């Protein structure tokens, strides 16, 4: 069995297509790594890259990506809707096959130490790689955002590794190990940002909503509409279908229609089958009922 690790860096650049292409090329040119998906958002001014391979090639590809990003992105002029701490905002390592979570934790710690040494950037560890309980949740680390982080690096946000000062142009970086996460957004047929923010507050776990759900309300510009942006941390606990129903019911109660859903990056097959089973009310619908999986497995 191959030893496969997925890496899903989120980068603070989503508007300059030529720059994003150079970032993607850095990953593609890394031997032993396959770039699986690339998604950019103009309003968030953010790009998400999904790639996989054996641990060492993935580590090398991630360093290659960071090198390009740190040359191209200056956080002093960066603006976007999405919360962020740095040019390379977050780097999660995810075990796919033949690799344990403990190995991904070790990989995250190694990468964090190396990137701090190479670039003199403050590094925070999160999720399974967190070294303190208050840093398990990414939103807790990212709360001050880039603009407010400098004044906290000697107090509440002392880096896990690296200097206690922001990199002049790169800011800071968050590195972790985690299970598969689904980034799922729902757009509303309204420009009422407060409605999206209220729905997000009601459905996220931290406010007493759905378990394993993180959510935030955003305003998009082309065309103008409000968006509920979510991270589904464990689709076996809360399915995409349930998330959709909960958002749709709250929007409908306010007299607003749901326009569309959006996936950022990739999702597991089982999550898609879960949605199909829910929509069609299928009992016992598992992956062995799908013809392609019978051949592949």
DSSP β-ladder status, 173-177 and 88-97: parallel
Give the C-alpha separation, 174 to 167, whole Å. 13
Give the C-alpha separation, 240 to 228, whole Å. 13
Strand partners of residue 52: 6, 34
Give the C-alpha separation, 93 to 106, whole Å. 10
Catalytic residues: 82
Contacts (Cβ under 8 Å, ≥6 apart) of 226: 187, 188, 190, 191, 192, 193, 195, 196, 217, 218, 219, 220
CB atoms within 10 A of CB 105: 21
* Inter-residue contact 55 to 62 (CB < 8 Å): no
CB atoms within 10 A of CB 267: 19
Give the C-alpha separation, 83 to 172, whole Å. 13
Residue 139, both tokens: 């939103």
């Amino acid at each position: 069995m191959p030893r496969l690790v997925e890496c899903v860096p989120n980068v603070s650049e989503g508007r300059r297509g030529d720059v994003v292409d150079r970032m993607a090329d850095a990953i593609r040119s890394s031997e032993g790594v396959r770039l699986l998906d690339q998604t950019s958002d103009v309003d968030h001014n953010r790009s998400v890259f999904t790639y996989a391979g054996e641990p060492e090639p993935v580590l090398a590809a991630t360093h290659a990506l960071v090198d390009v990003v740190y040359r191209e992105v200056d956080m002093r002029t960066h603006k976007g809707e999405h919360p962020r701490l740095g040019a390379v905002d977050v780097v999660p390592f995810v075990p796919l096959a033949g690799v344990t979570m403990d190995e991904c934790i070790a990989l995250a710690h190694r990468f964090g130490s190396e990137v701090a040494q190479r670039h003199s950037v403050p590094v925070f560890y999160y999720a399974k790689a967190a070294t303190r309980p208050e840093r398990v949740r990414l939103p807790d680390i990212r709360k001050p955002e880039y603009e407010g982080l400098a004044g906290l690096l000697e107090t509440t946000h002392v880096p896990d590794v690296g200097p206690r000062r922001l990199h002049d142009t790169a800011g800071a970086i968050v590195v972790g190990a985690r299970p598969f996460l689904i980034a799922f957004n729902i757009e509303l047929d309204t420009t009422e940002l407060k409605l999206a923010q209220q729905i997000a507050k009601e459905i996220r776990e931290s406010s007493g909503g759905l378990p394993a759900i993180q959510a935030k309300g955003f305003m998009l510009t082309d065309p103008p509409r409000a968006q509920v942006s979510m991270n589904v941390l464990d689709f076996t606990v809360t399915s995409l279908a349930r998330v959709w129903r909960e958002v749709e019911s709250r929007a409908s109660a306010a007299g607003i229609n749901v326009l569309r859903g959006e996936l950022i990056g990739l999702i597991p097959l089982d999550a898609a089958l879960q949605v199909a089973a829910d929509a069609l009310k299928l009992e016992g619908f598992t992956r062995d009922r799908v013809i392609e999986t019978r051949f592949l497995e």
